[in-house]
Amino acid sequence: MINTLPVYVRYLKAEKDKVLQFLAEQGFFRPSGGSGNAQGQPALDAETETTFIVTGRIPKGAFADFQKSLSERFPGILVAEDPGPEGPRQTPCRWKANVKVKDLGARWSEPYRRLTHALGVPTLEAVDPAPWISLTYPLFFGFVVGDLGYGLALLALALWGLSGFRCGPQGLKRMAESPIAEALLRILMQGALASVGFGILFGEVFGLGLRQLGLPLPLSGPWPLHRLENPQILLVLSIGLGVAHTVIGLCLGVVAAVRGCRNSDASAPTPASKARRVLATKVGLLCLLAALGPLGVWLNSGGGLPLLAAAAALGGVALLLLGYGSGALALLEALGLVTHLSSYVRLMGFGVAGAQLTALLNTTLADLGSSLVIGMILTTLLAVLLHALNGALHVFEAGLQALRLHLVEFHKAYGIL
């Protein structure tokens, strides 16, 4: 054992078999007297409902490559030297420095795993929701901010932070070294990109319309998606985003429940009997959502027996499944779905409120600028200060509302527990 190094590995229980097989392929072995399984994988030292720990030895001098290969294959895995009875000799790998994911999709979603861990580490049957949250969270953030000017300013701030706040104060530079700060800056960068896109779609630059800036436009008349001129379109878009978000969550819940149905262990965190009821509830809610489509078309068109029949059939199947999965609470589940969808209207509400506040700010600054008492320089400085404060308020509102929709609506639709 002189030329070997003791190490320990900790990761999600859902990935146990893959990790153990990979460890065996990497030359990880147990000391004499330790045992493995029939596949030649190392045996476990400890195991909980969500994680497992295994210790063993690797050749000396191979720790860096061993740690890097594991981190690239399993993002977030904890790899460190075994502290033994004397205590730790090496700090476990940091989330920032040692999780280097080559895959672009995994790197994009990595900051959101802290969000999913705040909800609880996924169980054995669960599907990792972080890749989906990494798409929808910036989308909601950008929908609320919805301004090209603020989006570009936030993007510049995020890129400056990710570069280590070069030429900035030492306090900011030290803060940028924190893994949590890096994750937040990456989330801000992604939200800023979405804000730029929605700013172009809504035709707003620091609250000013594209025509107010004298830009040539292909359309005549009011900009069709301007938030203050056409808020009803935003209402439809926000509900549409809510439906898509809920469908994604329910589909992930269906996948998790299907995996749980295969579990024959009655003492498991999600036994098969409970998973079957959860599966019926999730599929029932999906059928209920599907029934709303033809029903809405039928109500708007004022006729069409096939549409009404399709809506009634889907609704009947939904009630049967909800009755099996939730029993007497089936009606509450159906009403809860409508309530959750209405929660997404907050995207439109806070977006319009932010646009109105920005327009009011611009009107006030225009009045000050036309005054003979306040000069142009003072008005410009005041505009920068007020828009910076307004931008901070936009970030707070957009981040908070997007977080709320993921912690409550999405997690309830997705969660199997």
SS3 6: strand
Question: What is each CA distance from 168 to 174, 323, 399, in whole angstroms?
Answer: 10, 60, 25
Distance CA 225, CA 213 (A): 17
Distance CA 370, CA 382 (A): 14
Full pLDDT tens readout for the chain, 417 residues? 556 778 878 887 778 888 888 888 877 776 544 444 444 445 566 777 667 788 888 887 778 888 888 888 887 687 877 554 444 443 333 333 333 333 445 677 888 876 666 555 454 456 778 888 899 999 999 999 999 999 999 999 999 998 888 887 888 888 777 778 888 899 999 999 999 999 999 988 998 877 667 666 666 666 778 888 888 888 999 999 999 999 998 888 888 888 777 665 544 545 677 778 888 888 988 998 888 888 877 777 766 788 888 888 988 898 888 888 888 777 787 888 888 888 999 999 999 999 999 988 888 887 776 555 556 777 788 888 989 999 999 999 999 999 889 888 887 776 643
pTM for the predicted model, two decimal places: 0.69
> Residue 330 CB: number of other CB atoms within 10 A?
19
Distance CA 129, CA 22 (A): 24
Tokens representing 276 are: 């079957």
| DSSP letter, residue 42 | B
**Does residue 23 contact residue 69 with C-beta atoms inside 8 Å?**
no
H/E stretch holding 56 reads strand 51-59
Domains observed in the chain: 4-100 (3.30.70), 103-417 (no CATH)
> Residue 303 CB: number of other CB atoms within 10 A?
7
Strand partners, 57: 6, 29
| DSSP letter, residue 406 | I
Angle at 55 between CA 50 and CA 58, to 5 degrees: 135
Query: H helices within 163-264, ranges in order?
Result: 170-176, 179-202, 231-261
